[in-house]
């Protein structure tokens, strides 16, 4: 059972997430540099690469902000600021070990609702600057959202169905014996795909793609840019971390304490996702839309049906 | 505490709703409406219907994001560079609004509200679901299928390219002739 958490956890949570996001971004930067040179660099070079995301943050913060003509600045600011806020709010129900900041009775729906705020955030950030390329990026994210959201909802519902509860703590408890990934592999794979799609990252980075000069974030500068691109990393970390209580047994595991297992599993999922980004090229959202609706949604429904039958016969 | 939260959310919800008609940009109007609806979701949570409140937040966020696309699409001036207004037929609208408001307010004040009997249930969402769905499950299922059929029928009627365009007059083409190829290689 998930225990109550002291109030200071509310302040620790964003710091932990930002730390995890910086580490992930650093790891990605090291891999990117290695791929560019075709060989892993020396230890010193690796260290320099790993702190590159942090340096970029500082550089953006001191940079002269750029403005576009006739931009809707409040809307762009709200959009850029909403992305990290949505990620942190979604993380409220994430258990570290067996403790989460708030184990809401409807935790899974809460997570889904908060990550849906990213739809509004990315579109606003794309619309606000009054620039064609960023507007294209914003619209692309909505199209991508229509593609990933349906199988995604079915996948997280399947985990809730297996535990017969929407409370994340009870989903973790239900996996004390057998992890859900073992008997819900399809839902797990679909969840990982949609985790990347909702952070418009990796193979699903077209909303902020290079072909539209950075898409939704193209015209953002200064602190807005840090919030938007940082929020995207936060969203990726939170989405990856949520797969651990949903499918990978949460804090359950031998020898080590619960929090250590959560961190280890989250790190493994994140490392896998970062590796996938290197291995798979960008997928256009209209191609993913057809795949999602014609293949993934029926698969997810069949998976939910199997789980429902198992649960009914228990 | 609850009273304070209620008033903050209620005032924000009404202010957001008013701003929908004051803003001169479609994007701002849409997201002001979203802000108002999110406050309503918060009010529903405050009633103890957590599940419904969170679902309202989820549905309204996605719905308003999609709505933004459609509203901008159907605007006279899609670029949003020229000021627009959400209000048309001002005098008629004011009369209708005043009448509806008076009717609703009179209803609130004059209705014989029942006094509370017994205690609040432990899980109000469950009780609400049972009273809505319990005896009428068949109606709800039929309604769901009817809505779904309506959506499919609308899309079929609205689509410009049917199966004869895609697979030829005798439907014999092995590959669909689509302007944009999908992801399953058809």
Q: Over 50: is that where the pLDDT of B177 sits?
A: yes
Residue in chain B lying closest to A115 (CA): B58
Which of A123, A290, A295 lies nearest to residue B68, judging by beta carbons?
A123
Kindly tell me the burial class for residue A21, based on how many C-beta atoms sit within 10 Å of its own C-beta (0-12, 13-18, 19 or more). Answer: buried
Test B51 with A109 for CB contact under 8 angstroms. yes
Q: How confident is the model at residue B160 (pLDDT cuts 50, 70, 90)?
A: confident
B77 or A70, which is more confident:
A70
pLDDT for A91 equals 92
Say if CB B62 and CB B25 are below 8 A apart. Answer: no
pLDDT for A233 equals 93
For B160, the token pair is 């410009």
Q: Over 70: is that where the pLDDT of A254 sits?
A: yes
For B76, the token pair is 């006279």
B131 or A116, which is more confident:
A116
On chain A, the residues whose CB falls within 8 A of the CB of B184 are 290-291, 294-295
Q: Over 80: is that where the pLDDT of A46 sits?
A: yes
Q: How confident is the model at residue B74 (pLDDT cuts 50, 70, 90)?
A: confident
* Cβ of residue B138 closer than 8 Å to a chain A Cβ: no
pLDDT for A69 equals 84
Sorted by sequence, the CB contacts under 8 Å of residue A306 that are 6+ apart come out as A183
Test A290 with B180 for CB contact under 8 angstroms. no
B37-61 pLDDT, tens per residue?
A: 999 999 999 988 888 999 999 999 9
pLDDT for B80 equals 54
Which of A72, A104, A116 lies nearest to residue B58, judging by beta carbons?
A116
* Cβ of residue B69 closer than 8 Å to a chain A Cβ: yes
Test A286 with B180 for CB contact under 8 angstroms. yes
The C-alpha atoms of residue B104 and residue A104 are separated, in whole angstroms, by 35
pLDDT for B166 equals 83
The CA-based angle B176-B178-B184, given to 5 degrees, is: 65
Test A117 with B61 for CB contact under 8 angstroms. yes
Q: Over 50: is that where the pLDDT of A1 sits?
A: no
pLDDT for A148 equals 92
On chain B, the residues whose CB falls within 8 A of the CB of A124 are 27, 31
* Cβ of residue B114 closer than 8 Å to a chain A Cβ: no
* Cβ of residue A301 closer than 8 Å to a chain B Cβ: no
Residue in chain A lying closest to B57 (CA): A113
Summary mean pLDDT of chain B: 85
Kindly tell me the burial class for residue B172, based on how many C-beta atoms sit within 10 Å of its own C-beta (0-12, 13-18, 19 or more). Answer: exposed
How long, in residues, is chain A? 314
B18-27 pLDDT, tens per residue?
A: 998 888 788 8
The interaxial angle of helices A52-62 and A9-37, nearest 10 deg, is 110
* Cβ of residue B145 closer than 8 Å to a chain A Cβ: no
Which of A70, A75, A287 lies nearest to residue B27, judging by beta carbons?
A75
pLDDT for A295 equals 92
B102-118 pLDDT, tens per residue?
A: 999 999 999 998 888 87
Q: Over 70: is that where the pLDDT of A51 sits?
A: yes
- The DSSP line for A220-277 is --HHHHHHHHHHHHHHHHHHHHHHHHHHS-TT--SSS-HHHHHHHHHHHHHHHHHHHH
Q: Over 60: is that where the pLDDT of A250 sits?
A: yes
Phi, psi (5° rounding) for residue A100? Answer: -125, 165
On chain B, the residues whose CB falls within 8 A of the CB of A78 are 31
Say if CB A68 and CB A219 are below 8 A apart. Answer: yes
Residue in chain A lying closest to B73 (CA): A139
For B125, the token pair is 């969402």
pLDDT for B186 equals 60
Q: What is the ipTM of this complex?
A: 0.87
pLDDT for B99 equals 96
Summary mean pLDDT of chain A: 89
Contacts A–B by Cβ distance under 8 A: 73
Q: Over 90: is that where the pLDDT of B147 sits?
A: yes
How long, in residues, is chain B? 186
A178-189 pLDDT, tens per residue?
A: 899 999 999 999
Q: Over 70: is that where the pLDDT of B76 sits?
A: no
Q: How confident is the model at residue B157 (pLDDT cuts 50, 70, 90)?
A: confident
A221-234 pLDDT, tens per residue?
A: 888 999 999 999 99
Distance from CA of A282 to the nearest CA of B (A): 13
| DSSP-H helix ranges across chain B | 2-22, 26-46, 50-73, 90-110, 124-133, 137-158, 163-167
Which of B31, B58, B66 lies nearest to residue A109, judging by beta carbons?
B58
Distance from CA of A120 to the nearest CA of B (A): 6
Averaged pLDDT for residues A130-155: 90
Test B184 with A290 for CB contact under 8 angstroms. yes
Percent of chain A residues topping a pLDDT of 70: 99
A260-306 pLDDT, tens per residue?
A: 999 999 999 999 999 998 889 888 888 888 899 899 999 999 999 99
The C-alpha atoms of residue B33 and residue A301 are separated, in whole angstroms, by 33
Test A290 with B183 for CB contact under 8 angstroms. yes
pLDDT for B102 equals 96
Q: Which of A169-178, B46-55, B159-168 has the lowest mean pLDDT?
A: B159-168
Q: How confident is the model at residue A196 (pLDDT cuts 50, 70, 90)?
A: very high
Q: Domain residue spans in chain B?
A: 1-85, 135-179
Phi, psi (5° rounding) for residue A282? Answer: -65, 140
* Cβ of residue B151 closer than 8 Å to a chain A Cβ: no
* Cβ of residue A106 closer than 8 Å to a chain B Cβ: yes
Percent of chain B residues topping a pLDDT of 90: 36
The C-alpha atoms of residue B45 and residue B56 are separated, in whole angstroms, by 10
pLDDT for B126 equals 80
């Amino acid at each position: 059972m998930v225990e109550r958490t002291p109030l200071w956890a509310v302040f620790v949570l964003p710091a932990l997430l930002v730390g995890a996001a910086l580490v992930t971004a650093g790891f990605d930067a090291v891999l990117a540099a290695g791929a560019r040179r075709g060989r892993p660099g020396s230890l010193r070079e690796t260290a320099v690469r790993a702190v590159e995301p942090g340096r970029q943050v500082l550089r953006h913060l001191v940079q002269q902000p750029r403005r576009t003509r006739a931009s809707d600045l409040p809307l762009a600011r709200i959009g850029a600021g909403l992305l990290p806020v949505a990620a942190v709010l979604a993380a409220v129900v994430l258990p570290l070990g067996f403790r989460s900041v708030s184990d809401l009775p409807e935790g899974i729906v809460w997570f889904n609702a908060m990550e849906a705020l990213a739809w509004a955030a990315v579109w606003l950030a794309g619309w606000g600057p009054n620039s064609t390329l960023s507007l294209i990026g914003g619209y692309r994210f909505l199209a991508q959202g229509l593609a990933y959201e349906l199988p995604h909802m079915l996948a997280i519902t399947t985990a809730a169905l297996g535990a017969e509860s929407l409370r994340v703590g009870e989903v973790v408890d239900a996996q004390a014996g057998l992890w859900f990934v073992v008997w819900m592999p399809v839902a797990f794979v679909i969840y990982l795909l949609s985790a990347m799609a909702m952070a418009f990252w990796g193979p699903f980075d077209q909303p902020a793609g290079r072909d539209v000069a950075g898409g939704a974030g193209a015209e953002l500068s200064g602190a807005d840019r840090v919030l938007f691109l940082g929020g995207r990393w936060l969203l990726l970390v939170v989405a990856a971390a949520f797969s651990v209580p949903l499918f990978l047994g949460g804090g359950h595991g031998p020898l080590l304490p619960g929090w250590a297992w959560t961190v280890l599993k989250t790190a493994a999922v994140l490392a896998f996702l970062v590796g996938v980004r290197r291995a798979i090229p960008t997928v256009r959202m209209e191609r993913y839309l057809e795949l999602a609706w014609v293949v993934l949604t029926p698969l997810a429904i069949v998976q939910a049906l199997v789980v429902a039958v198992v649960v009914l016969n228990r | 505490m609850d009273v304070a939260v209620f008033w903050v959310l209620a005032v924000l919800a009404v202010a957001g709703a008013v701003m929908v008609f004051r803003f001169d940009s479609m994007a701002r109007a849409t997201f002001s409406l979203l802000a108002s609806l999110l406050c309503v979701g918060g009010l529903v949570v405050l009633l103890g219907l957590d599940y419904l409140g969170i679902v309202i937040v989820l549905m309204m966020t996605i719905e308003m994001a999609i709505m933004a696309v459609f509203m901008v699409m159907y605007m006279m001036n899609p670029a949003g560079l020229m000021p627009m207004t959400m209000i048309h037929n001002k005098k008629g609208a004011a009369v209708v609004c005043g009448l509806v408001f008076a009717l609703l307010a009179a209803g609130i004040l004059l209705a014989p509200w029942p006094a509370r009997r017994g205690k609040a249930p432990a899980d109000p969402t469950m009780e609400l679901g049972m009273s809505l769905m319990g005896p009428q499950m068949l109606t709800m299922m039929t309604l769901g299928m009817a809505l779904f059929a309506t959506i499919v029928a609308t899309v079929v009627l609205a689509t410009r390219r049917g199966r004869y365009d895609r697979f030829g007059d005798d439907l014999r083409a092995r590959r669909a002739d689509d302007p944009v190829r999908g992801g399953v290689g058809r």
